[in-house]
Amino acid sequence: MSSPDIESKYAPPLVECINCNHMLPQGLGEIECEICGAICKVTHEPTVEALKSESVQCPHCATIVVAGTQKRPVELSCESCSQKFNLTRKIVKVEIECPSCESGLRIRPRPGKRELTCPGCTNSFNVTF
* One-letter amino acid of 26: Q
| Length, in residues, of the chain | 129
Query: Domain boundaries in the chain?
Result: 5-88, 94-128
Q: Provide the 8-state DSSP code for 85.
A: E
The three-state secondary structure class of 123 is coil
Distance linking the first and last C-alpha atoms of the chain: 39
> Rounded mean pLDDT of the chain?
94
> From CA 13, how far away is CA 90, in angstroms rounded?
11
pLDDT of residue 1: 59
pLDDT of residue 86: 97
Q: Report yes or no: 11 and 25 within 8 Å, Cβ to Cβ.
A: no
Q: Report the predicted TM-score, pTM, of the whole model to 2 decimal places.
A: 0.78
Residues with pLDDT less than 70, the chain: 1
Q: What is the pLDDT of residues 49-70, one digit of tens each?
A: 999 999 999 999 999 999 999 9
Nearest to 26 by CA among 75, 34, 52, 76: 34
> From CA 77, how far away is CA 66, in angstroms rounded?
10
pLDDT of residue 129: 87
pLDDT of residue 2: 77
* One-letter amino acid of 24: L
